[in-house]
Amino acid sequence: MEAHAHHKETFITKYIFSTDHKMIAKQFLITGMIMGIVGVGMSLLFRLQLAWPDQEWPILEALLGKWGTDGIMDPNIYLALVTIHGTIMVFFVLTAGLSGTFSNLLIPLQIGARDMASGFINMLSYWFFFASSVVMLASLFVENGPAAAGWTIYPPLSALPQAVPGSGLGMTLWLVSMSLFIVSSLLGALNYIVTVLNLRTKGMSMTRLPLTIWAFFVTAILGVLSFPVLFSAALLLIFDRSFGTSFYLSDIMVAGEMLTNQGGSPILFQHLFWFLGHPEVYIILLPALGISSEVISTNARKPIFGYRAMVGSILAIAFLSFIVWGHHMFVTGMNPFLGSVFTFTTLLIAIPSAVKAFNYITTLWKGNLQFTPAMLFSIGLVSTFITGGLTGLILGDSALDINVHDTYFVVAHFHIVMGLSAIFGLFAGVYHWFPKLFGRRMNKNLGYVHFWVTFISAYGVFFPMHFLGMAGLPRRYYTNTAFPMFDDLADINVLVSYFAIIGGIAQVIFIWNFFYSALRGKKAEQNPWKSNTLEWTTPVEHIHGNWPGEIPEVHRWPYDYSKPGMEEDFVPQTVPLSKDEVATGGH
């Protein structure tokens, strides 16, 4: 408590412009949750449209105003909703909300550091994210509507206001917002990398890092290498839109007007975009995998199986993620030889992914599984990671991609493998580290109800979409009624929408549990899950500097659960190796 006494904290320095990583983690989490409510809410609106296209929904008129006149959704606003849903979920919820929260909370706590390398840069990272969120939400209220070119904002559609109304001011705000977001993401990532490399406590070698930290560390490296490329793509797009350049534009006549642009290539944008876009998938997924490794090991009361193989597969996945971007572009007319190369590299990712899945499963074998809500979400994550990952073998194969590219098969694939896995990782993290975040406990029964309704409806939403894709149904269609060949898909769409609505409403349980427990939940003990990692050696009450006295020294790896010869079924990292352990080669 001494460290605390030195600082005079006002409300503003403590809760708003805080440089304390724990407070910043909470800021990221709550902002991410608010954005999540907006993003998921939008998906419910367009699910109404997809399942009941002719139905008049007063709620649409109430929420969308002139774009929902008489309760019928405007086609352009449908496109805007899918665009902003994708943007918000991918970047604001699953990148900033997930990585921002848990990298910030856990990196200093689990490596034994008093704070991030630069608290000030950390604070800036959050406030750039906040500004970016505000601009993105503001874009929902402009005259011609928000960006509507898909979350991948391919030009020329995103470059020409004549082509779609959302490409006016809405698109400008989207680009401004994403530029701020990239700044936030880079500031955060640099801080994470520097902190992990330099501020590890005595004894915390890289091979003693918890897998969470490995995942956050590699994620940060991916971000630093790939986000600047998105920034340059966005910058060139801003130039094409506002200053008359032709990086992406050539030979275009739109709305009866012949444009003067010549010589640019829309495909260049796709290369730049996916050079970020694919690593981005792993920027989202790796933290979730790191969290689940930690949660599964702790609650199985067993070491994570194959620690080195787990680290190796994270590194392999991260490396491969940079040389597979072309699999998003098999049907752009790219040289078929390149298609072959990208098919080869893409399918290779299945190997480290399989290693991870098998290691998770083997960690459960002969464990003493404690089914906390966090553990259930982690098991759910492994399930969706497998189910969604497997269809990657279809989509990564250029010859097969020809016929399912941009259909609902893709929607099913990436929502299951990336969306659900990452969301489950986020939930697992919140349930597991809630006592560390707020010093209180969440209600487990509400957690169970939340898990089961979410898990079942999540599969209920996305599993049937595989069949829609195999029927040739393209994504981003405002309605499927223009093609009689899709008439018999209506039933499936209704089923999907029902599950979406149930799953959406179920999140009320989580939100209630979260806020109620944060304010009035039971007080947490110091180490509620009997965990080995360092964050549980800090006092329940947050203090600046994390540990009241000396920073603890680390003597062993974090996974000594149920070690033979030990009294308890866990041995914290701070416990020195016994003579026997030294003799048998302890970590």
Chain positions 158 to 197 lying near another protein, rule: CB under 8 A, are 160, 163-164
Smaller CB distance to another protein: residue 118 or 332? 332
Under a CB-based contact definition with an 8 Å cutoff, are residues 108 and 115 in contact? yes
| 397: contact with another protein by CB under 8 A | yes
Quick check: 185 and 96 in contact, CB under 8 A?
yes
Q: Residue 570 forms beta bridges with which residues?
A: 561
Place of tokens 């604001």: 92
> Which residue from 143, 141, 148 is spatially nearest to 166, judged by alpha carbons?
148
- For another protein, how many residues bind (rule: CB under 8 A)? 136
Q: Of the listed pieces 32-40, 186-194, 202-210, 256-264, which binds another protein according to CB under 8 A?
A: 256-264
Tokens coding 212: 């969470």
Sign of the Cα pseudo-torsion (82, 165, 154, 174, in order): negative
Kindly state the smallest distance separating residue 560's Cβ from another protein, in Å.
8
Q: Are 105 and 23 in contact (CB under 8 A)?
A: no
Q: Which stretch binds another protein (CB under 8 A): 88-96, 196-204, 287-295, 339-347?
A: 339-347
**Any contact of residue 382 with another protein (CB under 8 A)?**
yes
Position 72 contacts another protein (CB under 8 A): no
- In angstroms, give the least distance from the CB of 411 to another protein: 13
Q: Which of 5, 12, 258, 519 binds another protein (CB under 8 A)?
A: 258
Stretches 136-144, 277-285, 350-358, 417-425: which one binds another protein (CB under 8 A)? 350-358
Q: Does 526 bind another protein (CB under 8 A)?
A: no
| Residue 379 engages another protein in binding (rule: CB under 8 A) | yes
Positions 117 through 136 that interact with another protein (CB under 8 A): none
Which lies closer to another protein via its Cβ, residue 33 or residue 117?
33
What's the distance, CA 286 to chain centroid? Answer: 9
Instruction: Judge contact between 205 and 91, C-beta under 8 A.
Output: no
- Least distance (Å) between residue 234 CB and another protein: 18
Cβ(402)–Cβ(430) below 8 Å: no
Our finding on whether 63 is near another protein (CB under 8 A) is no
Query: Per rule CB under 8 A, is residue 585 in the interface with another protein?
Result: no
Q: Cβ(528)–Cβ(441) under 8 Å?
A: yes
Q: In angstroms, give the least distance from the CB of 517 to another protein.
A: 9
Closest CB to another protein among 421 and 480?
480
- Asked if residue 518 binds another protein (CB under 8 A), the reply is no
What backbone torsions phi and psi does residue 296 show, to the nearest 5 degrees? Answer: -65, -45
> Using CB under 8 A as the criterion, what x/- string covers residues 15-54 for binding another protein?
----------------------------------------
- The verdict on 141 binding another protein (CB under 8 A) reads no
Cβ 227 to another protein shortest distance, Å: 24
Chain residues 218-247 in contact with another protein, contact rule CB under 8 A: none
Q: Of the candidates 15, 251, 210, 222, which has an alpha carbon nearest to the alpha carbon of residue 107?
A: 210
**Contact (Cβ atoms closer than 8 angstroms) between residue 197 and residue 287:** no
Which CB, 134 or 485, lies closer to another protein? 485
Residues 309-328 that bind another protein (CB under 8 A): 309
Give yes or no for residue 366 binding another protein (CB under 8 A): yes
Residue list 267-286, contact with another protein (CB under 8 A):
267
Kindly tell me the sign of the dihedral angle through the C-alpha atoms of 184, 189, 194, 200. Answer: positive
Among 116, 304, 92, 144, residue whose Cα is nearest residue 211: 304
User: Between residues 198 and 205, which has the closer beta carbon with respect to another protein?
Assistant: 205
Partners of 561 in beta bridges: 570
Pick one of 307, 408, 424, 427: the residue that binds another protein (CB under 8 A). 307
Do 188 and 122 contact (CB within 8 A), yes or no?
yes
Please tell me the distance from the alpha carbon of residue 100 to that of residue 192, in angstroms, as a whole number.
10
Of 236-244, 259-267, 413-421, 543-551, the window that binds another protein (rule: CB under 8 A) is 259-267
Residues 413-452 that bind another protein (CB under 8 A): 441-446, 448, 452
Give yes or no for residue 369 binding another protein (CB under 8 A).
Answer: yes
293 binds another protein (CB under 8 A): no
Min CB(109)–another protein separation in Å: 21
Does 586 bind another protein (CB under 8 A)? Our answer is no
302 binds another protein (CB under 8 A): yes
- Taking each helix axis from N to C terminus, what angle separates 101-111 and 169-198, rounded to the nearest 10 degrees? 10
Question: Bridge-partner residues for 253, per DSSP?
Answer: 258
Calpha distance 574→571 (Å, rounded): 8
Q: How far is the CB of 191 from another protein (least distance, A)?
A: 32
The interface with another protein within residues 472-501 (CB under 8 A) comprises 472, 474, 476-480, 482-485, 487-490, 492, 501
Q: Is 390 in the site for another protein (CB under 8 A)?
A: yes
**Does residue 192 contact residue 217 with C-beta atoms inside 8 Å?**
yes
**200, 112 Cβ separation under 8 angstroms:** yes
| Amino acid occupying residue 154 | Y
User: Which region, judged by CB under 8 A, interacts with another protein, from 91-99, 110-118, 148-156, 574-582?
Assistant: 148-156
Residues 6+ apart with CB under 8 A from 451: 373, 376, 377, 380, 427
Cα(587)–Cα(582) distance, integer angstroms = 9
DSSP at 488: G
The interface region with another protein, picked from 6-14, 285-293, 318-326, 344-352 by CB under 8 A, is: 344-352
Residue with Cβ nearer another protein (190 or 575): 575
CB nearer to another protein: pick between 107 and 349? 349
Dihedral (C-alpha) 410, 328, 135, 155: value to the nearest 10 degrees? -120
Nearest approach, Cβ of 255 to another protein (angstroms)? 8
Q: Is 206 in the site for another protein (CB under 8 A)?
A: no
Q: Which of 170, 290, 303, 425 binds another protein (CB under 8 A)?
A: 303
C-alpha triplet 35, 239, 220: angle, nearest 5°:
45
CA 63 to CA 67: how far, in whole Å? 9
Per CB under 8 A, contacts with another protein among 532-571 are 559, 561-564, 569
CA distance 381 to 432: 14
